[in-house]
Amino acid sequence: MIATLRLPQQLRLELPLRQDASGRFLPWVIALIVYLSVSGGLALIWLSDALHGWDAAVGGALTLQVPADTSTARLEMTLGALKQTKGVVDARLLDTAETAKLIQPWLGNSFPLDSLPLPRLVDVQVDPDVAIDFATLRRQLASIVPNAQLDNNTAAPSDVPRFAGRVEWTIAIGIVAVTALLVAIIVFAARIGLAIHRSLIELLHLLGAADEYIARQFQIHALWLGLRGAIIGGIAAAVTAMILEPAAGRLALPVPAVSSGILDWRLWLLLCVALVIAGGVAMVTARVTVLRQLARLP
């Protein structure tokens, strides 16, 4: 006969807490809280990836626009002046097809781009660690091509880090808020459970049961509810990341779990942290709440 697998004595529930209504609705509330928290963590990762990708894209690049009717000789002189500038790594003239491809998303495929006097673009790669004298460079380029326009992409997103920091703080505050909501819900559920089983708890007191024993019953019950809700919310968050992955791949967005798919270690780290925090917060909150309430009983 196969022996029945039993939980250790410390993890068994002697009080009928599983029959409470909280056992039915509380895991779903915790699941929603965990889902929001994990989604906020994924948003923080996405924002960090986006900023790093943006810095890598524009931090070491400049764009020079010259009129479409600029002669080949002046273009060669412009490229030579750029390459001789301190801090410039390389300068490459984009051909007409590459320029049209950059403009096509705004004008569409049906617009006759060949009929437009598109400016010639020069892609300039710079060393981000070397300071460039842009005032002198612009004067030098203007002497070669009077209407040349040098766009300093490295200085364009100066307000982006500040804005991203505000978004990160907003998301972080939201995660803290939903964690505080989890604590409040566990406190409420523990008090309701004490009220429902008050007569049984008083009987256990008369039989010599210590407050620690009763509190352990509630904290084990809260731990299982927290873990169950965290698993549900974590699975929902992982499914959401999987759904967003194909769309993000087509749009070339740096959404988490896109580069490594569902195997992205950051996604799984978030899920594990959420599982531990949800179970731990539920258990500790229930224990503290029950011990305080029991201390007030006559």
Under a CB-based contact definition with an 8 Å cutoff, are residues 167 and 47 in contact?
A: yes
Q: Which of 178, 167, 245 shows the shortest CA–CA distance to 35? A: 178
Q: Which residues pair with 91 in a beta bridge?
A: 124
For residues 33 and 108, state if they share a domain.
Answer: no
* Domain assignment present for 248: yes
Once rounded to an integer, what is the mean pLDDT over residues 219-237?
Answer: 91
CA distance 191 to 46: 39
Least confident of 13-17, 38-42, 160-164, 169-173: 13-17
- pTM to 2 decimal places: 0.65
Beta-bridge partners for 125: 61, 90
Residue 27 domain-assigned (yes or no): yes
Lowest mean pLDDT among 37-51, 91-105, 241-255: 241-255
Mean pLDDT of the chain: 77
Provide the pLDDT confidence category of residue 35 given band limits of 50, 70 and 90: very high
- Indicate whether 138 and 191 sit together in one domain: no
Q: What is the CATH number of the domain that holds 143?
A: 3.30.70.100
One-letter amino acid at 110 equals S
How do 88-93 and 61-66 pair as beta strands? unpaired
Q: Judge if 88 and 236 occupy the same domain.
A: no
Give the relative orientation of helices 160-196 and 22-58 as an angle to the nearest 10 degrees.
Answer: 170
Biggest distance spanned by C-alpha atoms of the chain = 102
Both 81 and 204 in one domain: the answer is no
pLDDT-derived band at 159, boundaries 50, 70, 90: low
Domain endpoint, select from 99, 122, 151: 151
The reply to whether 250 and 210 lie within a common domain is: yes
Give the count of domains, the chain: 2
Given the structure tokens 């915790």, which residue do they identify? 30
> 223 and 168 in one domain?
yes
- pLDDT for residue 256: 46
Share of the chain above pLDDT 90, in %: 15
**Pair 50, 254: CB distance under 8 Å:** yes
Distance CA 284, CA 290 (A): 10
Distance (Å, whole) CA 189 – CA 191: 5
For 258-269, the pLDDT digits (tens) are 445 567 778 888
Answer yes or no: do 143 and 260 share one domain.
no
Residue 37, domain member (yes or no):
yes
- Asked if the model's pLDDT at residue 209 lies above 60, the reply is yes
- Residue 8 lies inside a defined structural domain of this protein: no
Q: What CA–CA distance (Å, rounded) separates 264 from 274?
A: 16
Domain boundary among 99, 119, 151: 151
Q: In this structure, is residue 135 part of a structural domain?
A: yes
Query: 71-112 pLDDT, tens per residue?
Result: 888 888 888 888 888 888 888 888 777 776 766 655 556 556
**Residue 20 gets which letter from DSSP?**
S
Instruction: Clarify whether residues 64 and 81 are in a common domain.
Output: yes
Q: Would you say 229 and 30 are in contact if contact means Cβ atoms under 8 Å apart?
A: yes
Question: Do 120 and 254 share a domain, yes or no?
Answer: no
Final residue in a domain of this structure, among 124, 151, 178: 151
- Clarify whether residues 65 and 83 are in a common domain: yes
Q: In the predicted model, is pLDDT for residue 248 greater than 60?
A: no
Per-residue pLDDT, 104? 62
Ordered strands of the 88-93 beta sheet: 88-93, 120-126, 61-66, 149-151
Lookup: tokens for 64: 């020079």
Nearest to 91 by CA among 136, 61, 129, 57: 61
Query: Is there a single domain that holds both residue 50 and residue 64?
Result: no
- The domain of 118 spans 60-151
In this predicted structure, what is the pLDDT of residue 208?
A: 78
3 occurs within a structural domain: no
Distances (CA, A) of 66 to 79, 86, 120, 151: 11, 21, 5, 11
Residue 4, domain member (yes or no): no
The verdict on residue 225 lying in a domain is yes
**CA 74, 80, 83, 85 torsion-angle sign:** negative
| Same-domain status, 184 and 270 | yes
Strands (E) across 120-253 are located at: 120-126, 149-151
